[in-house]
Amino acid sequence: MSKEITSRQLDYAQWYNDLIIKGGLADYSAVRGCMVIKPYGFTLWENMRDQLDRMFKETGHVNAYFPLFVPKSLFEAEEKNAEGFAKECAIVTHYRLKSDPDNKGKLIVDPEAKLEEELIVRPTSEAIIWNTYKTWIQSYRDLPILINQWANVVRWEMRTRLFLRTAEFLWQEGHTAHSTAEEAVEETVKMLDVYANFVENWMALPVIKGVKTPNERFAGAVDTYCIEALMQDGKALQAGTSHFLGQNFAKAFDVQFLNKENKQEYVWATSWGVSTRLIGALVMAHSDDDGLVLPPKIAPYQVVIIPIHKGEEQKAAITEKVKTILQELKLEGVRVKYDDSDNSRPGWKFAEYEKQGVPVRIAIGARDLENNTVEIARRDTKEKMSVSLDGLSVRIINLLQEIQQAMYDKAKDFREQHITPVDSWDDFVSTLEKKGGFISAHWDGTPETEDKIKELTKATIRCIPLDAAEENGKCILTGKPSNKRVLFAQAY
Amino acid sequence: MSKEITSRQLDYAQWYNDLIIKGGLADYSAVRGCMVIKPYGFTLWENMRDQLDRMFKETGHVNAYFPLFVPKSLFEAEEKNAEGFAKECAIVTHYRLKSDPDNKGKLIVDPEAKLEEELIVRPTSEAIIWNTYKTWIQSYRDLPILINQWANVVRWEMRTRLFLRTAEFLWQEGHTAHSTAEEAVEETVKMLDVYANFVENWMALPVIKGVKTPNERFAGAVDTYCIEALMQDGKALQAGTSHFLGQNFAKAFDVQFLNKENKQEYVWATSWGVSTRLIGALVMAHSDDDGLVLPPKIAPYQVVIIPIHKGEEQKAAITEKVKTILQELKLEGVRVKYDDSDNSRPGWKFAEYEKQGVPVRIAIGARDLENNTVEIARRDTKEKMSVSLDGLSVRIINLLQEIQQAMYDKAKDFREQHITPVDSWDDFVSTLEKKGGFISAHWDGTPETEDKIKELTKATIRCIPLDAAEENGKCILTGKPSNKRVLFAQAY
């Protein structure tokens, strides 16, 4: 029974951890706040990463790699950025260990190997990158620079949660340089669209595109655009951000270019990133009490085939038939696994692959051989059906598409039911308490009101939706005038 | 003239740096010993990485990700390994910065945020991984574990060189766990073969497979297998290593399993890695005084097309024709770039792409249009030929294969000419001085003799070749008996 997953009803947070650990995505490590991404979880990440990478390249970006360390003097150059990350930095101060004279076989930090200048393990790479761009950019001809980096970053979070908030995480960070503000803003929005496209169409998770309020802005940005998703417990999750950095970093690192009018001008910047946090969103949005439910487009295995047999002879006959199925499916690019191991019974395997969220299970037994059929089970709806072996691969491919769409539709329905327009403080509080989700409400536009609301309810403004309509109203807290609704929610 | 590359003759080390910097592969950074891998260099790395990744997966391996940090107590658990890396570790001691009260806008390390236990930035991951494997392995049924990780690692080298030796570098590290010594040794040799296959057939660089002497062994290994390549200056370069770790790490981390006989036994281990250092080898082995020479199979661009025109009308006509060529080549999977930018003249572009080592250049001008021809130039031999547009894509594909083979053959010839059998100390010294390369000589098998030879000549034993024949001889230094020749060389 130790393998069972805690139900959402009983303990939502424990349910989430069980999904990750028992679904084989990740494990705790010996390092505070850091996790081990296990092969199954890493394959999921590879599928996500590879698709995002294709989308970045299709939009004209190239990859590069910048140092892990940021010298303190560079780190502090852009003051707001430094202030935003200073409280959660891993800091390298020494470069050598030596034998402990008092403790044989043990090591101590060699005090003589103290660095002249401390190195910050990058929490984000604007500083080190803009310090480099300075040497690459002289004229408008050197622009734009459209670079992305896949990397690990470290933020010393006090409270960590697998995937959602870990001290070290994997991410990509785009850092682009432009000759005009317009072009940089265009890039910022374009990458937000890429993220939304990816999360909706590959992860089957609907998102709301919006702009952050100054309170929630990236440290050092002029504007932070974001995509916000909704989890099953009614909390929101920021799934990706794209920042218009204005000339802040160019000024901090003195990056100027000669424009077409032959005048020196500061360069315009953007940065944008998504991380392994997306896996947390994926897990929380779709899974159920039996385990993970993964969208076919990014699932490590899309199909698992399990033989049901008595004795070796039956198994051999089934395996012979399965060979053809495997071949056909692989030819169509389907990621399929045949689990004919003898270590465990079919029922155990069924439960195991449910936990792992494999979208389609095919079971094939002796009677199926006689009837030229197999049993197909959908992970998302748990539906089972007996289908003919003829035309199976086409059927499977259609089914995978159907599951992908159904998962998106289900998440979208849930999200739509959980955007509640609210016009009074009492309704705001009770909606948050009883229903959760996004609350669409008027706000007077001040950081003070936002802070006060957060203090009273733990809800923050997730974003000002890009498609928010002009509408006169009154702030739910202060009654002051407002001209559009913003989205509030409690959030991860 | 600042763009020119120093000749090998004049200054070999400067030639190498020029190739990297002016070929656009990498740049220096603000962090001591760390480099920036520029987009062109990173695309090269992506091509190498992706091919290696395919080969790892074809041999049954999966990827995972382990923490960047190793707590000191884990780091010191395997004593030899710890001893080997203790002197070159980046050490995280604090997790927060705070405002400098004496210096507005500056930050200092917050002394109150000292870690209870220091964290080592991984120089290699055996410790953190075997500490994890401990929780994953109970029985022989959990074995083998065949995991690879693509990651950044840090070794605080005192003397660094772009790609060859940098404080931070990118690599892959395989870490496998087995139930028998035989299986682990088999894995060690299998991965050495994968490396040799990759370096020879993708990087066009012949290697010698061998075993390291105890002096040159990986810290914590029972046996270190290696592939050794030869550079144009006659120095050897270790291109990859595969370690049989015995039960050393299993014992250090108490990783035991219940074997088929129901008895507890320590697990057997291997680890193997190649890094961005391979790019250094690639650059040094093939390039010439005009720039990089890249093997077609991994070159970022395999073909560059340059229009030669007067006026917009000619350019449009050429571009129209080039469209068809581009389409055909891309259809065949050729990585091709059309450089029709107006910023620079064709001659400048020719030199630029020579510097970048693009294997094939196609130039097309007005007369070519009339004659239905193009001019093809090979980067490796500098040969030029005028060829018909008909059947061009097949011709290009064949040419790319031919170049790949020719580059390998040339490097192989050079290597063969630089393995010198030597039977006396005088010959040993003079061969090293006058000719360089590998010296095949007898050695008495003791670390003392090896040290002495290194002290006298800077030459080390690169490896005991796997195919070394039994042969009675006398050690070149001590005259003591030896039963096989080993390969000496000065090395990077």
One-letter-per-residue 3-state SS of chain A: CCCCCCCCCCCHHHHHHHHHHHCCCEEECCCCCCEEECHHHHHHHHHHHHHHHHHHHHCCCEECECCCEEEHHHHCCCHHHHHHHHHHCCEEEECCEEECCCCCCCEEECHHHEEEEEEEECCCCHHHHHHHHHHHCCEHHHCCEEEEEEEEEECCCCCCECCCECCEEEEEEEEEEECCHHHHHHHHHHHHHHHHHHHHHCCCCCCEEEECCHHHCCCCCCEEEEEEEECCCCCEEEEEEEEEEECHHHHHCCCEEECCCCCEEECEEEEEEEECHHHHHHHHHHCECCECCCCCCCCCCCEEEEEECCHHHHHHHHHHHHHHHHHHHHHCCCCEEECCCCCCCHHHHHHHHHHCCCCEEEEEEHHHHHHCEEEEEECCCCCEEEEECCCHHHHHHHHHHHHHHHHHHHHHHHHHHCEEECCCHHHHHHHHHHCCCEEEEECCCCHHHHHHHHHHHCCEEEEEECCCCCCCEECCCCCCEECCEEEEECEC
Of A2-16, A129-143, A354-368, B47-61, the one with minimum mean pLDDT is A2-16
Which chain A positions have a beta carbon within 8 Å of B170's beta carbon?
65
Contact status of B9 with chain A (Cβ, < 8 Å):
no
When the pLDDT of each residue in chain A is averaged and rounded to a whole number, the result is: 96
Query: Nearest CB to B64: which of A36, A120, A141?
Result: A36
**pLDDT attached to residue B2:** 44
**In chain A, residues 139-158 whose CB comes closer than 8 Å to chain B:** 141, 147, 151-152, 154, 156
Do B202 and B298 form a contact (C-beta atoms < 8 A)?
yes
**Segment A243-286, tens digit of pLDDT:** 999 999 999 999 999 999 999 999 999 999 999 999 999 999 99
**In chain B, residues 404-433 whose CB comes closer than 8 Å to chain A:** none
Do A46 and A62 form a contact (C-beta atoms < 8 A)?
no
Q: What is the mean pLDDT of each run of 10 residues along chain B (492 residues)?
A: 80 97 96 96 98 98 98 95 94 97 94 97 98 97 98 95 97 98 98 98 98 95 98 97 98 97 98 98 97 98 96 95 96 97 93 97 96 97 97 97 98 98 97 97 97 97 96 97 97 96
**pLDDT attached to residue A2:** 44
Which chain B positions have a beta carbon within 8 Å of A156's beta carbon?
95-96
Q: What percent of chain A is predicted at pLDDT more than 90?
A: 98
Would you call A66 and B96 a contact, using CB atoms and an 8 Å cutoff? Answer: no
Do A24 and A41 form a contact (C-beta atoms < 8 A)?
yes
Query: Nearest CB to B96: which of A43, A87, A154?
Result: A87
Question: What are the beta bridge partners of residue B491?
Answer: B236
Do A378 and A399 form a contact (C-beta atoms < 8 A)?
yes
**Segment B117-126, tens digit of pLDDT:** 999 999 999 9
Query: And the tokens for A247?
Result: 């000339």
**pLDDT attached to residue A14:** 97
**In chain A, residues 344-383 whose CB comes closer than 8 Å to chain B:** none
**In chain B, residues 433-472 whose CB comes closer than 8 Å to chain A:** none
CA distance B409 to chain A (A): 32
pTM for the full predicted model: 0.97
**pLDDT attached to residue B325:** 96
Contact status of B39 with chain A (Cβ, < 8 Å):
yes
* Burial tier of B444 (Cβ tally within 10 Å: 0-12, 13-18, 19+): middle
Q: Find the angle CA(A231)-CA(A235)-CA(A238) to the nearest 5 degrees.
A: 80
**Segment B184-224, tens digit of pLDDT:** 999 999 999 999 999 999 999 999 999 999 999 999 999 99
Would you call B152 and A68 a contact, using CB atoms and an 8 Å cutoff? Answer: yes
Q: What is the spatial distance between Cα B247 and Cα B222, in angstroms, rounded to a whole number?
A: 9
Query: And the tokens for B134?
Result: 């401990």
Contacts of A47 (CB under 8 A, 6+ apart): A297, A298, A299, A300
Q: What is the spatial distance between Cα B421 and Cα B475, in angstroms, rounded to a whole number?
A: 13
CB atoms within 10 A of CB A343: 8
Closest chain B residue by Cα to residue A148 = B39
Do A257 and A142 form a contact (C-beta atoms < 8 A)?
yes
Instruction: Flag whether pLDDT at A1 surpasses 60.
Output: no
Confidence of residue A237 (pLDDT cuts 50, 70, 90): very high
Query: Nearest CB to B62: which of A43, A45, A82?
Result: A43
Q: Find the angle CA(B425)-CA(B427)-CA(B429) to the nearest 5 degrees.
A: 70
CA distance A18 to chain B (A): 16
Contact status of A87 with chain B (Cβ, < 8 Å):
yes
**pLDDT attached to residue A435:** 96
Question: What are the beta bridge partners of residue B307?
Answer: B364
Would you call B71 and A39 a contact, using CB atoms and an 8 Å cutoff? Answer: no
**In chain B, residues 40-69 whose CB comes closer than 8 Å to chain A:** 41-43, 45-46, 62-69
**Segment A161-199, tens digit of pLDDT:** 999 999 999 999 999 999 999 999 999 999 999 999 999
Q: What is the spatial distance between Cα A427 and Cα B4, in angstroms, rounded to a whole number?
A: 72
**pLDDT attached to residue A3:** 60
Best mutation target among A36, A49, A75, A128 (most B Cβ atoms within 10 Å) is A36
Contact status of B91 with chain A (Cβ, < 8 Å):
yes
Query: And the tokens for B392?
Result: 């061009």
Instruction: Flag whether pLDDT at A343 surpasses 90.
Output: no
**pLDDT attached to residue B4:** 85
Q: What is the spatial distance between Cα A269 and Cα A175, in angstroms, rounded to a whole number?
A: 7
Would you call B36 and A132 a contact, using CB atoms and an 8 Å cutoff? Answer: yes
Look up residue A205 and give its amino acid.
Answer: L
Query: Nearest CB to B119: which of A31, A87, A119?
Result: A31
**Segment A377-433, tens digit of pLDDT:** 999 999 999 999 999 999 999 999 999 999 999 999 999 999 999 999 999 999 999
Would you call A128 and B93 a contact, using CB atoms and an 8 Å cutoff? Answer: no
